[in-house]
Structure 1
Amino acid sequence: MLAKLRSVLSYQFTIAELIGLGIILGTPYLIIGAIWSMTHTDHLEHLQGADLVVSFLGSIVSWPVLLFSNVCMT
C-alpha cells in the first residue's frame, strides 16, 4: 500500500498536463460561478462601469463563499 502511494506521489507532470488539468477542473467551477452570479445580482444594481465588472467577476470567482454566506443569512 505504501509503495503504491509512493509511486503515485512520485509521478511527474509536464507543463501541458498541468495546463490541461487546470482547464478540466477550472471550467465547471467557472460555469457554476457564472450561473450563480447571473441569478444573484441584487448587489450589482447601484454599481456602474469598472466597479460593476470587477464585482461581477469577483462573485464568479468567489461563489462558494457567497453561497455559504447566503445560506447562513437565511
Structure 2
Amino acid sequence: MLRTIGRTLDHKMKVSEYIGMLILIGIPYGIIGVVWTLTHTSHLSGIDSFWDQMISFLGSIVCWPVLTFADVTMT
C-alpha cells in the first residue's frame, strides 16, 4: 500500500495538467457557491452601495464553506 501511495505522489504533472485539475475542482466549487449565495441573500438587503453588494455577493461565493459553518453555529 505504501508503494502505491509513493508511486502516486511521485507522478510528475505538467503545468497544463495542474491548470486542468484546478478547473475541474473549481467548477463544482463555484456552482455550489452561487447556489448557496442565491439562497442566502438576506445580508445584502442592508447594504446601500451597489459595489458593496457586489463585493459581498462575490465574497459569499468564494467563502461559502466558512459561511455555511458560521450559519449553522449562529442559529
Q: TM-score, normalised to structure 2's length?
A: 0.89
User: How far apart are the structure 1 equivalents of 2:9 and 2:2?
Assistant: 10
- 2:50 equivalent in structure 1: 49
Once residues 9 and 40 of structure 2 are traced to their aligned partners in structure 1, the CA distance between those partners, rounded to angstroms, is 40
Structure 1 unmatched runs, 5+: none
| CA–CA separation in structure 1 for the residues paired with 2:16 and 2:67 | 32
- Structure 1, 31-40 or 44-53: larger mean CA deviation: 44-53
Cα distance in 2 for residues equivalent to 1:17 and 1:29: 18
Matches within 5 A, 1:1-74: 1-47=1-47, 48-74=49-75
Identity %: 47
CA distance in 2, matches of 1:35, 1:64: 12
Q: CA deviation at 1:4?
A: 2.2
Amino acid across the alignment from 2:22: G
Work out the number of aligned pairs and report it.
74
What are the ranges of 5 or more consecutive residues in structure 2 without an aligned counterpart? none
SS at match of 2:13: coil
Deviation of 1:3 (Å): 2.5
TM-score, normalised on structure 1? 0.91
